[in-house]
Amino acid sequence: MKYPLVCLQRKTSIKNAIQQIERSPFDRAFVVDEAGVYAGCVAVADLRRLLISGAQVEEPVDAYPMRHDYSLADKSLETPRQARALISDMKLKGVRFLPVVDPDGRITEILSLEDISNMYSVEETEATAKLPAARKVLVVGGAGFLGSVLTRKLLARGFRVRVLDSFIYDRKSLDNLAGDENLEIVEGDLRNIHTCVSALADIDAVVLLAAIVGDPASKVRPTQTIETNVLAAQALAMASKLHFIPRFLYASTCSVYGIGDAILDEDAPLNPVSLYARTKIESEKIILGMGDEYFCPTVLRMGTLYGFSPRMRFDLVVNTMSMKSHVNGGIQVFGGDQWRPLLGVEDAAEVYVRCLEAKLEDVGNQVFNVGSDAQNYKIDEVAQIISEALGGVPISRDQSNLDSRDYRVSFAKLSDILKYAPVQTIDGAAREIVKNLQSGVIKDPARKIYYNHFFDSAEE
Ligand SMILES: NC(=O)c1ccc[n+]([C@@H]2O[C@H](COP(=O)([O-])OP(=O)(O)OC[C@H]3O[C@@H](n4cnc5c(N)ncnc54)[C@H](O)[C@@H]3O)[C@@H](O)[C@H]2O)c1
């Protein structure tokens, strides 16, 4: 068959069906009887709903009504008009594939919406180009620095997205996405148990980005940090497990390594130097500890992010230096000798998408450092690269180091398993940030909204 869609037997257990569908790139499977005759279709979301409402995991899928969305006998559409009607109906119901059956009802082929458009020369309209995706992803913290980039990338790759965010730093980062039929935006606080659980309805995969992010912000609001970064994270992971949602991507940080001499891989000892890093370690442990064959979380320990985002932050080293070069005509370096792994925000978002697209067994129940060996930099080097990129901006040095983190990280596992090597560069990002300042896209980089520790969401 052209598409690796799962075909299940009628007596396949619900548990087994969920596992097989989750390990395929699609959100549903066709069911056949012993003679191979098409019996209907099951969507993983329906199976999850059955379990939540009391079905037993060992019951067969045919114990409950199946979907009989569509099937096509001998590709029996005669005119492009019939094909167009079928396509628009399938789209409305979020169906991307249909089985072609022979006169005995056996599946001979599977066709996608695109195949039908091509076969019957139905013109590709904007709507057919934007096919409903197989998976619906909950992005908690989707309005943030990374989240607003990731949400756009997921939509562009055909995923349906529900963002849950309390908009600590305003909701403007998602403004120009409003109206996208594949995006649902929910304003809510993950710390509210009801909000946390109801956000999971009909979700196939969860990305948890929401947190109080950065050492200074967690210092200012320690209680909110513990509530959000550990307790709410734990509740969301537990609720996801109870909903049989196996893909759970947890945003962690290379700050968990704190200080270290060697080049640190995923098994290196952790050495947190802040409340922020300690909360990230605790939730990593809790979430990974819940992992089993049904709930397969992935922990992504990212380097310090940089680059332009619809929710801009100027409290990240590359972004700060680039902005100061433009505003003050100079870069100030504190310390300078300390190592820090850096990662472009576009690259970070790409890794999340690849984890959602990867086979579950390749990424589930594991930790990945996310970054590139080549982007382990000393802070002094970062200043020099930015200075050169921006035409030789002067650098001044202050020996006092306000941030004790100093670590180099190995990203070999990311490139071995996900085959991904980051492509964004510090100099490119510095130029892009300055371009956005010069053109007035960002009018006043001193506004508190660009710095997490001010917790500011005031309108301009
Ligand atoms: N930025 C980095 O350098 C970096 C590096 C490594 C890891 N990370 C991790 O990546 C994730 C995203 O970081 P970011 O830089 O995008 O941060 P950010 O502060 O820009 O975004 C966090 C988002 O979460 C939302 N949020 C916070 N608490 C919430 C709650 N209780 N309920 C709902 N929404 C809530 C905020 O409103 C915000 O939109 C974080 O988990 C962070 O720890 C970031």
Residue 347 in this model has a pLDDT that exceeds 50: yes
Distance CA 221, CA 272 (A): 18
Given 76, 108, 129, which residue is the final one in a domain? 129
pLDDT for residue 253: 97
Residue 193 in this model has a pLDDT that exceeds 80: yes
CA 171 to ligand 1 centroid distance, Å = 13
Percentage of the chain lying above the pLDDT 70 cut:
94
* Ligand 1 neighbourhood includes 169 CB (under 6 angstroms): yes
Written as one letter, the residue type at 117 is S
Q: Relative to the CA of 210, which ligand 1 atom is closest?
A: 24
Count Cβ atoms within 10 A of the Cβ of residue 265 and give its class: 0-12 exposed, 13-18 middle, 19 or more buried: middle
Q: What is the DSSP letter of 106?
A: B
Residue 93 in this model has a pLDDT that exceeds 80: no
Distance CA 377, CA 332 (A): 16
Distance CA 1, CA 77 (A): 21
Distance CA 33, CA 314 (A): 59
CA 305 to ligand 1 centroid distance, Å = 11
Q: What is the largest CA-CA distance in the chain?
A: 81
Q: Which position has the higher pLDDT, 110 or 426?
A: 426
Q: Which position has the higher pLDDT, 6 or 241?
A: 241
pLDDT for residue 132: 40
* Ligand 1 neighbourhood includes 189 CB (under 6 angstroms): yes
Distance set, CA 64 to CA 21, 28, 37, 99, 454 (Å): 17, 15, 18, 21, 53
Distance CA 224, CA 212 (A): 7
Q: Which position has the higher pLDDT, 278 or 111?
A: 278
Given 114, 129, 144, which residue is the final one in a domain? 129
Distance CA 232, CA 190 (A): 6
Q: Is 285 part of a structural domain of the chain?
A: yes
Query: Total domain count for the chain?
Result: 2
Distance CA 202, CA 185 (A): 14
Q: pLDDT, tens digit, for every residue of 129-168?
A: 444 445 899 999 999 999 999 999 999 988 999 999 999 9
Ligand 1 test: best mutation among 146, 352, 453, most atoms within 8 Å of CB?
146
Could you tell me which residues are beta bridge partners of residue 160?
136
CA 225 to ligand 1 centroid distance, Å = 11
CA 141 to ligand 1 centroid distance, Å = 6
pLDDT for residue 126: 44
Domain that holds residue 112: 7-129
- The answer to whether 375 and 302 are in contact (CB under 8 A) is no
Q: Is 422 part of a structural domain of the chain?
A: yes
Atom 29 in ligand 1: residue holding the nearest Cα? 210
Q: Is 2 part of a structural domain of the chain?
A: no
3-state helix, strand, coil in the chain (%, to 5): 40, 20, 40
- The answer to whether 11 and 31 are in contact (CB under 8 A) is no
Nearest to 249 by CA among 287, 304, 275, 305: 287
Given 74, 100, 129, which residue is the final one in a domain? 129
Q: Is 459 part of a structural domain of the chain?
A: no
Residue 71 in this model has a pLDDT that exceeds 90: no
Element spanning 29, H or E: strand 28-32
Token representation of residue 185 = 């935006």
- The pTM (predicted TM-score) of the whole model is 0.88
Q: Are residues 301 and 422 both part of a single domain? A: yes
Q: pLDDT, tens digit, for every residue of 229-274?
A: 999 999 999 999 999 899 999 999 999 998 888 899 999 999 999 9
Residue 120 in this model has a pLDDT that exceeds 80: no
pLDDT for residue 1: 58
Q: Is 292 part of a structural domain of the chain?
A: yes
Token representation of residue 128 = 């057919």
Q: Which of 55-69, 256-270, 373-387 has the highest mean pLDDT?
A: 373-387
pLDDT for residue 130: 44
Q: Are residues 179 and 235 both part of a single domain? A: yes
Q: Is 1 part of a structural domain of the chain?
A: no
Distance CA 175, CA 177 (A): 5
Q: Are residues 223 and 334 both part of a single domain? A: yes
Q: Are residues 274 and 208 both part of a single domain? A: yes
Could you tell me which residues are beta bridge partners of residue 107?
101
Nearest to 14 by CA among 35, 41, 42, 37: 42
Helix (H, G, I), strand (E, B) or coil at 400: coil
For the ranges 71-75, 282-286, 352-356, the lowest mean pLDDT is seen at 71-75
Q: Relative to the CA of 255, which ligand 1 atom is closest?
A: 6
Q: pLDDT, tens digit, for every residue of 305-316?
A: 999 999 999 999
Helix (H, G, I), strand (E, B) or coil at 101: strand
Q: Which residues make Cβ contacts (< 8 Å) with residue 419, sequence separation at least 6?
A: none
pLDDT for residue 459: 56
Q: Are residues 115 and 148 both part of a single domain? A: no
Q: pLDDT, tens digit, for every residue of 383-435?
A: 999 999 999 999 998 877 667 778 899 999 999 999 999 999 999 999 999 99
Q: Are residues 116 and 149 both part of a single domain? A: no
CATH of the domain at 145: 3.40.50.720
Distance set, CA 163 to CA 142, 173, 178, 355 (Å): 5, 12, 11, 18
